[in-house]
Amino acid sequence: MKHRDGRIEVICGSMFSGKTEELIRRVRRAQIARQRVQVFKPSLDNRSPENHVKSHTGQHFEALPVENSGRILELVSEDVTVVAVDEAQFFDDGLISVANELADRGIRVIIAGLDMDFRGEPFGPMPILMACAEDVTKLHAICMVCGDEASRSQRIIDGRPANYDDPVIMIGADEVYEARCRRHHQVPGRPGRS
């Protein structure tokens, strides 16, 4: 059964804030409601088995890996009522039009991803998706320095914060990232900041 009105829901936050866990919770609830669900993830994210999205707490759900956002439209089944996309920050900007097209067809679109990169700057298509969404949920982790609420992902290279000019995309988990609050997030070499 199609929804009367499609919609876009964005789940965002830092690493370790529970974005994938929340995406999985929502798609499982949709399945309980007998809705047809398809989940997609970028093929570039190889941290979990190829055909699953997996949370840091071990929850997992079947997903189709795709190399670009256009493939999502090609692979969406006719009877699907819910489309979920994990790690959306790794997709091209075409994901914005894909999400809007699916919502215009009456499909509920659930998107999860990092809102900021390790520099603390907007990441990929996420800022525009957040602006287009009917609902945005921003989750927080716990700062690994002080224990306060964390909104940023700190990349650590050889025990030190990564430099501003390091590559933006580096796939990893707790071996190279930790959650940090604004006060303890460090990006050496960031322009305009001391």
Residue-range domain boundaries for the chain: 7-139
Cα 42 from Cα 87, distance rounded (Å): 7
87 among known catalytic residues? yes
Asked if residues 87 and 63 have their Cβ atoms less than 8 Å apart, the reply is no
CATH code assigned to 7-139: 3.40.50.300
Q: Please name the residue that has the structure tokens 């398809």.
A: 38
Q: Which of 21, 22, 87, 178 is catalytic?
A: 87
Asked if residues 22 and 53 have their Cβ atoms less than 8 Å apart, the reply is no
Asked if residues 122 and 161 have their Cβ atoms less than 8 Å apart, the reply is no
Which runs of E-coded beta strand occur in the chain?
7-13, 37-42, 52-54, 60-62, 64-66, 82-85, 108-114, 135-139, 141-142, 149-150, 152-157, 160-161, 177-180
The encoded tokens of residue 60 equal: 């997992």
The encoded tokens of residue 173 equal: 């988990």
> What is the structure's pLDDT at 8?
98
Instruction: Write down the H helix ranges in 59-175.
Output: 70-75, 94-104, 126-132
Question: What's the predicted TM-score (pTM) here?
Answer: 0.91
Per-residue pLDDT of the chain (194 residues; tens, 9 = 90+): 455 689 999 999 999 999 999 999 999 999 999 999 999 999 886 655 567 677 666 676 789 999 999 999 999 999 999 999 999 999 999 999 999 999 999 999 999 999 999 999 999 999 999 999 999 999 999 999 999 999 999 999 988 999 999 989 887 666 789 999 999 999 999 987 64
